Amino acid sequence: MHQDIEKVLIDEGIIQKRLDVLAGKVADDFEGKPMVVVALLKGAVLFTADLLRRVALPMQIEFLNVASYHGCTESSGVVSFLDETLPDVEGKVVLLLDDILDTGRTLEAVMKKLEQQGACEVKTCVLLAKDIEREVFKEADYTGFMIGDEFVVGYGLDYQGLYRNLPYVGVLKDSAL
């Protein structure tokens, strides 16, 4: 365990087993559809790679760079699209991947943007969902794990750009914040 981690919330083995289940559900639901995966950078990179290797369907994989935390431990409430162009999703079914469903603002904003770009359907998949009351986007179509309202890092999630490479999801010590 990394010295800045107070506790491991979800270990690597449990994550990998849950990805097997999620991949099965995604494969069943997207069978025979023109699938485009849109993963949100940078947090969903590890989740995306590990999940999609388990889905034996033809798919186009795209990335979209958005920001909502802006270096803080809580969402700023503002979703910024950092790419100049958006993936071509017109007439396609989209699987939108993100690391965590927190306030719901990011998924809500990206879904609307993809629908404006002509996606015929957008389904959402998150590794983590905080068990909190949300004002906007309520629930993902596929969720790996429900967690409490704690600030977590690892397995793609970061604090000020660090800790994404940890193979588990953990809670930082207060001294590291």
Q: Per the residue annotation, which of 4, 99, 102, 131 is the catalytic one?
A: 102
| pLDDT the model gives residue 72 | 54
Q: Is 102 a catalytic residue?
A: yes
Q: Per residue in 3-32, pLDDT tens?
A: 999 999 999 999 999 999 999 999 999 999
**Contact assessment for residue 58 and residue 35, using Cβ atoms and an 8 Å cutoff:** yes
CATH of 13-148, one of 3.40.630.30, 3.30.390.30, 3.40.50.1000, 3.40.50.2020: 3.40.50.2020
Q: Per residue in 57-116, pLDDT tens?
A: 999 999 999 877 555 555 556 777 767 778 999 999 999 999 999 999 999 999 999 999
| pLDDT the model gives residue 86 | 81
Distance CA 174, CA 126 (A): 26
pTM above 0.85, yes or no: yes
